[in-house]
Chains A and B, each alone.
Chain A
Amino acid sequence: MAGVEIRHLSKRFAQLNAVDDVDLSIREGEFLVLLGPSGCGKTTLLRMIAGLERPTAGEIFIGGERMDDAPPRARGIAMVFQSYALYPHRTVARNISFPLEAHGLERAAIDEKVRWAAEMFGITRYLDRYPRQLSGGERQRVALCRALVRDPKVFLLDEPLANLDAKLRNMARDELKRFQRQVKRTVVYVTHDQVEAMGLGDRIVVMDRGKVRQVGTPHEVYEDPVDTFVATFLGQPPMNLVELQGALLGFRPEHFLPVAHFGANEALRTFPLSVRRVEYLGSDRYVYGSVGGAGATVIAKLPATVATEIAEGSDMEFAVPERALCYFDAATGARQRR
């Protein structure tokens, strides 16, 4: 087991700072998720840890050893690609054995390890098939298997669930997390999907334009965002931002409910909401409207348990509990503690 230390790491592509002076300390055995919109540098950061990309500046330590000049095979890492990158001309068994062959293991030892890994992922009966004969979920397991047999110190996963259909994704997420708990290895996981990030990560690193915006547990980055980028990137729908006396007031749609819904002794901030449209989504209702006259669109997310009648075009009193309010600097977007 080993953690990963990243110091002042930068990667420049021509005019673009893909990764811009990133410091990051990944703990041993931790499931760390790099989250951000496309182009934020999360994949470049992962590829630098893997050794597929050479940093422009900075240092990478894996298990305490300086690794930013070492070739990928010397780093003790394994990587799972978004497309799984299986060898199409090799059977499942020969895919899984490839890193072991490259490592010069004996045939008997290789067979034993392949069998062990295949059993762990329940793919023993596919061993003689070719990747093209497998479904997306099965291919993903083969890719994980191939990563596992190398017994790496760190697993690097690049959007491994992105190519699965939505139905499979929940299952695969659960499987992935159980797998990590079982092997107790450090995992660095790249995704742009906040649901995956929140569900899988011990900690989440939110990135934007090459820089780390916030590092924290899913709870911390969701409830306690450091700026408007993190606040609006996480959450579905995103946090509402309302300009008020030179500051930005932020509140999550699920905290924004009709006044009648709250208890009498709760400290509330009330807003008159001009309801423009109501969206019925089964488990929730989204109410679109504006507060304070010409203000920006805000969204209220009402769970099905809130039965209050809401008519489009009407004006209603909505409220947010004081404890759920966040204040941001209107100019910089940085969080203001009050």
Chain B
Amino acid sequence: MLLRRRHGGTATTVKRSLADRENVLGVALLAPALAYVLLLVGVPFVLAIVLSFSTATAGSLSFGWAGFANYSVILRDPIFRRALANTAIVTIGSQVLVVVLATAAAQVFRAAFHGKRTARFVLLLPWAVPVSLAAIAWTWIFDSTFSVINWTLKVTGLLHGWLYWLGEPGLALVAIIIVQAWRIFPFATVIVLAGLASLPQDVMEAAIVDGAGFWRRLFQVELPLLLPVVSVAVLFGVVYTATDLSVVYILTGGGPANMTQVLPTLAFQRGVLGADLGQGAAIAVFLLPFLIVVAVAMLRLARRTEIGAR
């Protein structure tokens, strides 16, 4: 469509550009995101559910209906139940750690101090490092012979024996929790910092005038007001951690004796390495209700504690 516009006596024509046509523009802007969600999330998602009811194996195109056979097999499998429990332990443990550390770090980074920019850069590094590289570095930190943690604890006199970080199931889980927390913590700190910056300044000042000290302001005003923001950070953290394959795979490989398997590693082991696609898919599907519950709970929490309309 052409619009005619008189300009200084000469008629100039102004073509309606794409940006003027809102209905077309809307679809055009939405299309990449929509394609991404449909092709890279929707299709694999449906495929996983379909495969979990099948007898499909890697390397063959045969597809047989298996009903709930895959599910009944894994539910009776102690290794699967261990993996399910581990996924919960690692996810919850690391996120608790993340929330505490991120809140504390945000308080530190809010203050003005010398070298703040450098410190912030260093803080963000773990987030930028590829997970697999970082995990390899951590295997050295937790190494049974060369562990710098053990060495440091020994030198400072805090440790008398020797910790086999990745060799004992309990310690290995702690190690996994530490790495997962380390990975998500910078992101959470940045989110909490942004939340702190958006807190209504006059409410914080009202608390000061009302006579509240630092801790009362922190726990009774700041943190409750930050709750929606923190829950967003936790939501992301839960999703990243629960679905992560690489940290456990590189750090322990699910060992010792399958004691540190989580759902993604077990699904990968059974479905891809073990070629039993049906069972692998069934294991992976168990992540789904877990993540849905978390997502719904978090969004509800966020809505309920929404900062009051002015």
Task: Give the B-binding residues of A (Cβ under 8 A).
Answer: 50-52, 72-73, 77-79, 81-83, 85-89, 98-99, 101-103, 130-132, 146, 150
Contacts and interface: CB of A to CB of B under 8 A. Distances in A.
Interface stretch (B201-209, B234-242, B262-270, B272-280): B201-209
Contact of A73 (B211, B305, B309): B211
A52 B307 CA distance: 24
B310 interface: yes
A88 B202 contact: no
A330 B54 CA distance: 96
Contacts of A77: 209
Given A83-B200, A89-B305, A102-B212, 15 more contacts: A72-B211, A73-B211, A78-B210, A82-B202, A83-B202, A83-B310, A85-B206, A86-B308, A87-B206, A88-B225, A98-B220, A132-B309, A146-B206, A150-B210, A150-B211
A225 to B, nearest CB: 33
Nearest to B201: A85
B221 interface: yes
Contacts of A88: 203, 225, 307-308
Nearest to B310: A83
B210 A99 contact: yes
A125 to B, nearest CB: 19
A237 to B, nearest CB: 33
Interface string B188-225: 00000000000010110111111111001000110011
Nearest to B210: A99
Interface residues of B, number: 23
A48 B276 CA distance: 72
Contacts of A98: 207, 210, 212, 220
Nearest to A152: B209
A132 B210 contact: no
A150 B209 CA distance: 11
Contacts of B211: 72-73, 99, 102-103, 150
B114 to A, nearest CB: 21
A85 B205 contact: yes
A102 B307 contact: no
B224 A89 contact: yes
Nearest to A77: B209
Nearest to A146: B210
A81 B205 contact: yes
Contacts, number: 70
Contacts of B307: 88-89
A130 to B, nearest CB: 6
A4 to B, nearest CB: 15
Contacts of B207: 87, 98
Contact of A87 (B203, B213, B309): B203
10 contacts: A72-B208, A72-B209, A79-B209, A83-B202, A85-B200, A86-B203, A88-B308, A99-B210, A99-B211, A102-B216
B224 to A, nearest CB: 4
A98 B224 CA distance: 14
Nearest to A143: B206
Contact of B308 (A82, A130, A146): A130
Contacts of B225: 88-89
Nearest to A71: B208
B275 to A, nearest CB: 53
Interface in B273-310: 305, 307-310
Contacts of A50: 209
Contacts of A99: 210-212
B221 to A, nearest CB: 6
A87 B221 contact: yes
Contacts of B209: 50-52, 72-73, 77-79
Contacts of A103: 211
A175 B221 CA distance: 30
Nearest to B203: A85
B202 A85 contact: yes
Nearest to A73: B211
Nearest to A103: B211
Contacts of B308: 86, 88-89, 130-132
B203 A102 contact: no
A132 B305 CA distance: 11
B195 to A, nearest CB: 14
A79 B212 contact: no
Contacts of B224: 89
Contacts of B205: 52, 79, 81, 85
A144 to B, nearest CB: 13
Among A88, A130, A131, A132, chain B packs the most CB atoms within 10 A around the CB of A88
